[in-house]
Chain A
């Protein structure tokens, strides 16, 4: 979805390196999310942010940190990458919709390989 962009699209790094994945959106949504996807495990939530001043841990936040620089930008950092962080990473946005389950709009993904 061109409304949600991720950079880089592919990245190879070495164990112990710091790496940042960036996400930008033009949908005007307040809510942004970072997921990782592994074969057989589905999408798992790492962090989410409901606005610039609100950051929350998801189910698998250990080893990751995030920064919400603006409404449109949400970056994910691996402070010291390890091989089991090799995965496909997705950024997503959603619009606050009250009591209805929010539809997620996903970026194209970043494929990360940690050697």
Chain B
């Protein structure tokens, strides 16, 4: 069956460290993958998009990798801060044959402790 999994439901790390979140998928061949941030009581907010021919994408303290062989994306936050605490969702395009235009993972709740 087709799945998109974010391996850690919750991740707690010390302020200043690098947070690494994982998104794995099976039986999809997405051309694109996105990462969103969701704060409690609010809708997700788009952070980054990476294409299948891009190995890495950066935006300020954020870095995303996309390995189509491993079927995995990694999302890194360097020099993490308590304000980075939120739930992070990965999303991919499942292809034209799918009833859904975009498939979301269930998210990883990241907590940065001071």
Residues of chain A having any CB pair with chain B under 8 Å? 1, 4, 33, 35, 40-45, 48, 56-59, 90, 92, 100-109
Contact = CB atoms under 8 A, between A and B. Distances in A.
B48 to A, nearest CB: 10
21 contacts: A40-B106, A41-B106, A42-B105, A42-B106, A43-B104, A45-B100, A48-B101, A57-B99, A59-B100, A101-B30, A101-B31, A101-B34, A101-B93, A102-B101, A103-B34, A104-B91, A105-B46, A106-B43, A106-B44, A108-B42, A109-B42
Contacts of A57: 99
For chain B, the bracket of interface size reads: 20 to 34
B114 interface: no
Given A1-B45, A106-B45, A108-B42, A101 B105 contact: no
Nearest to A109: B43
A42 B107 contact: yes
Contact of A109 (B32, B34, B41): B41
Which of B31, B89, B102 has most chain A Cβ within 10 Å?
A: B102
Given A33-B101, A45-B101, A101-B31, A107 B43 contact: yes
Contact of A43 (B33, B42, B44, B49): B44
Interface of B: 4, 9, 30-34, 36, 41-46, 49, 89, 91-93, 99-102, 104-107
B46 A100 contact: no
A1 B43 contact: yes
B94 to A, nearest CB: 10
B69 to A, nearest CB: 20
